[in-house]
Amino acid sequence: EPYRAGVVVACKRVSHRSAERALERRSRLRRGRGAVVGMSRDSNYDHHITIFSSAGKLYQVEYAIRCAQTASGLTSVAARGKSAVVLVTQKKVPDRLVDPSSVTNIFKVTEKLAVLMTGLPADCRAAVTRLRYEANEFKFQYGYAMPVASLAKRIADISQVYTQKASLRPLAAICILGAVDDERGPQIFKVDPAGHFFPYHATAAGAKESEANNFLEKKVDDLQAYDTDQTIRYAIAALQSVLSADFKSTEIEALVLDGGQRARTLTDREIDAHLNVLAETDL
């Protein structure tokens, strides 16, 4: 009898210790899970584009903007002077086997309206196709060319709709629209994947966007008095300054919209002439 009682007591002690250890393991596991949940709480909101985080953010939209700025590795600059709009960007050919003439980030939407795209190449082409469709549909319906402000608002509205539905994905592309309006003169509008659009005197997009904007802000007050050549050199100088590089004419591309003339892409010889002037002067 005493032996049996001792065995029962020993078993109870063992079971009690096992229970304590199990409880301790559970508490540790819960604390660990709580820490993991606390650390990854915000990441749970980036699975769907339509879900706001507790901080009031749409992470998929932010990811699309970040992708548009950094995916291509390019920096683009746009500036408007007294009578002209200038769009300038880097030109990088991805492969030596690719025809360099087929690589561009500046597109003509209409004869007197152009867009500078920054982001994923496929998304940029899709956005350009939609811009051309909207501009030509407007002209077909109303009989006159679509104003650049109306086109910017239209494409911004479409971009914003892409953030409302889980079945859609925002385009990782930033559009900088330029044109010379008959009433308001030179105009620049910038549209991002979230649907924001604003008019600018000068702006930049891409990998070195903030540095380029800082450069452009220094002479924004003098920009309104610049003629076409000065505006071109100002935009190229901004690109050279933020990238700390002396470009060759084949490494950048530029488009000019001057007065009532058609959009015109600068040739390598014209770009070389502006680069030579910049090398001799300090803008």
How confident is the model over 108-128, as pLDDT tens digits? Answer: 999 999 999 999 999 999 999
Burial of 104 (0-12, 13-18, 19+ CB in 10 A): middle
Q: DSSP for 225-264, please give it.
A: T--HHHHHHHHHHHHHHHHT----GGGEEEEEEETTSPPE
Q: DSSP for 38-62, please give it.
A: HHSTGGGGGSSTTPPPTTS--HHHH
For 147-195, the pLDDT digits (tens) are 999 999 999 999 999 999 888 889 999 999 999 998 999 999 999 999 9
Burial of 98 (0-12, 13-18, 19+ CB in 10 A): exposed
103/115 Cα distance (integer angstroms): 15
- 165's CB contacts (< 8 A; 6+ apart) are 49, 50
Mean pLDDT, the chain, whole residue set: 86
Q: Reply yes or no on whether the pLDDT at 256 is more than 90.
A: yes
Q: Reply yes or no on whether the pLDDT at 265 is more than 90.
A: yes
CB 199 within 8 A of CB 187: yes
Hey, how many other C-beta atoms are within 10 angstroms of the C-beta on 78? Answer: 30
- How far CA 37 is from CA of 62, 104, 132, 181, 233, in Å, comes to 22, 45, 46, 53, 53
Q: Reply yes or no on whether the pLDDT at 40 is more than 60.
A: no
Q: How confident is the model at residue 27 (pLDDT cuts 50, 70, 90)?
A: low
Q: Reply yes or no on whether the pLDDT at 275 is more than 60.
A: yes
φ, ψ of residue 56 in degrees (nearest 5): 80, 35
Q: Reply yes or no on whether the pLDDT at 245 is more than 90.
A: no
In our burial notation (b when 16+ CB lie closer than 10 A, e otherwise), range 228-246 reads bbbbbbbbbbbbbbbbeee
36/44 Cα distance (integer angstroms): 11
What secondary structure letter does DSSP report for 125? H
| CA dihedral sign of residues 199, 256, 231, 248 | positive
For 203-215, the pLDDT digits (tens) are 999 999 999 999 9
The pLDDT, as a whole number, for residue 8 is: 41
Of 46, 68, 64, the C-alpha closest to 55 is 46
The pLDDT, as a whole number, for residue 234 is: 95
108/216 Cα distance (integer angstroms): 24
